[in-house]
Structure 1
C-alpha cells in the first residue's frame, strides 16, 4: 500500500531512455552538439542524459519539470541552456559552476526570488539571461558581476523598481522590464502604482443579470437625455420667402 502511495505522488511524465536521448542529438550550424529534448512531456530530469554531459547545448524547454538536480554541473562544456516554459520553482546552486555558459533561458516558469541562487553571478561568460514571466520581486545582487551580459529579460514579473545590480554592467545593450509594477517617473508617493482605465467591449451574453440590468438602465438614461436636449434645427420664418429678402431691399439704407 505504501509503495502505491509513493508511486502516485511521483510526477507523471514521459520517460526518456538513453537511446531516445542519443536520437535527439543534433549538430548546430557552427558544429556544436545540441541535445534537444524540448516539448516531450518530461516531468522528471532524465538521469540518463548525464551520460551525454559533453554536449555544448541542452534544450529542455516546454516540458513539465519542477526541479533541476544539482548534477547539472556535470555539463561542463555547456554554453547554451534552455529551460523556458517549465514549472521550475528553484534553480540549484550548482548552476554557477557552468563556467562556459553564455545563454541561459529561464522564461515562463514559477521562479520566486529565493529560488534564484546568488551563484548565478559566477557565470562570468553569460551574455544573455532571460528571466521573464516568473514571479521575481528582486534580483540577486551577484548579477552585477556578470560583466559580459548583453541582454536581460525581466518582463512579466513583480519588480517594483529597476534592479540596481544592472546599472554597472557596461556592455548591457537591452533590458526588457515590460509588465512589471514599476511606478512611472514622477508618480506620487501616496499612490506608487498608477493605473490606467481601459475600455473593454463584451457581449451581453457574457454579463450577469444584475450587470446587464445596470447597463440597460444607463443606456435608457442616455437616450432620455438626448431626447430632452434642446433642438438645433434651422429656424423657420413664416410669412417670409427668405430672411435675407428684407435685408436685400434695405441694403442702400444700411450703406
Structure 2
C-alpha cells in the first residue's frame, strides 16, 4: 500500500513504481506518478533502468536531486506544475531527452543550469509559467530545439537566444510584459490575449513576404504570417491542458481522489 504522511506527502515504493510502468504503442515505457501529492523526488525511481518516459507532474516536488543524471534511458521528462525553484546541473547528462516540460514551477533565470545546452537531442522545451526574465545562449541546445515555450514569464523583450536557434519552428511568448520602442522611450506593448511571438519557416511565407522579411513591421508580412499560423496553430507540448494559465495552478495540485484510488487498485 502507498504510504501517506501528513508532512512528507505520498511515498512511492519500488514495487509500486515498477507496477505503474506502462508500455506505449510506440514501444516506449512510461512511468506516470502524476497528481499524487508527492513532495520529495522518489528515490526508488533511480533503481529503474528501463524507463523511457517519466511523468511526475502536478505534485509538490521542490527539488530535483543531482542523481537525476543517472536516468540515462529517459527520452521524455514531465515535471510541470510542481514547486521547483532550480534545476540541477546533472540534468545535462540526460542526453537522450527529446522532450522536457518544466512549465508552471517557480524557476528563475538563475535557477536554470547552462548544462541544458548539453541536451543535444532535445526538440521541445517548455519553460512557461515561471519567473524567467532572461535566457542565456548557453542555456538551451541550439542545434536540435524546434519548440520553445516561454509564455507567462517576465521577459520584456525577445531573448537573443531565440534568434540564434537555427531550426526553431515554434516559440510561444504570450503574456509576457514585452516592451516596444515608441518615440525613443520604452513602453509596454498593448495587444490582445491572442497575440504572441511566433516563428514561421520561410517556406510558409509568400514571395512578397520573403522580399520584405527584414521589415517585420510591414502590415502585409504581419497579415500573411497570421494567416499561415491560423491554418494550423498547434504547439504540441507548448500549450496543453496541463500547462496553460487558463486554470489556476493551485487547482491542478488538488489531490485527485479518483486518480489516486485508481492507482492503488492497479498495484
Offset at residue 193 of structure 1 (A): 1.7
Match of 2:32 in 1: 36
Q: Structure 2: give runs of 5+ residues left out of the alignment.
A: 193-267
Q: Using the alignment, how far apart are the partners of 1:121 and 1:35 within structure 2?
A: 25
Alpha-carbon contact 1:116-1:140 (below 8 Å) kept: no
Shift of the 31–44 alpha-carbon distance from structure 1 to 2, 3 Å rule, reads same
Q: Considering only aligned residues, what root-mean-square deviation do their CA atoms show, in Å?
A: 2.1
Q: Using the alignment, how far apart are the partners of 2:7 and 2:110 within structure 1?
A: 23
Query: Segments of 4+ in structure 1 off by > 2 A?
Result: 143-146, 186-192, 194-197
Partner-residue secondary structure (3-state), 2:59: coil
Whether 2:188 is the aligned partner of 1:193: answer yes
Higher relative contact order (CA 8 A, sep 6+): 2
1:43-54 → structure 2 map (5 Å cutoff): 43-54=39-50
Whether 2:138 is the aligned partner of 1:142: answer yes
Partner-residue secondary structure (3-state), 2:167: coil
Q: Structure 1: give runs of 5+ residues left out of the alignment.
A: 1-7, 198-255
Q: 1:86 aligns with which of 82, 95, 116?
A: 82
Cα distance per residue 1:171-211 (max 9 Å; x no partner): 11100001001114x434434224579xxxxxxxxxxxxxx
1:1-255 → structure 2 map (5 Å cutoff): 12-143=8-139, 145-184=141-180, 186-194=181-189
Q: Using the alignment, how far apart are the partners of 1:24 and 1:73 within structure 2?
A: 22
Q: Using the alignment, how far apart are the partners of 1:86 and 1:68 within structure 2?
A: 11
Aligned length in residues:
189
Cα distance per residue 1:57-103 (max 9 Å; x no partner): 11100000000001001110111000000000000000001010000
Q: TM-score, normalised by structure 2?
A: 0.67
Partner-residue secondary structure (3-state), 1:114: helix
Alpha-carbon contact 1:76-1:98 (below 8 Å) kept: yes
Range with greater deviation from structure 2 (150-159 or 136-145):
136-145
Larger Cα-atom Rg: 1
Offset at residue 28 of structure 1 (A): 1.2
Cα distance per residue 1:88-141 (max 9 Å; x no partner): 000000000101000000000000011111110100110000000000011132
Q: TM-score, normalised by structure 1?
A: 0.70
Partner-residue secondary structure (3-state), 2:188: coil
Alpha-carbon contact 1:58-1:80 (below 8 Å) kept: yes
Offset at residue 170 of structure 1 (A): 2.2
Alpha-carbon contact 2:142-2:166 (below 8 Å) kept: no
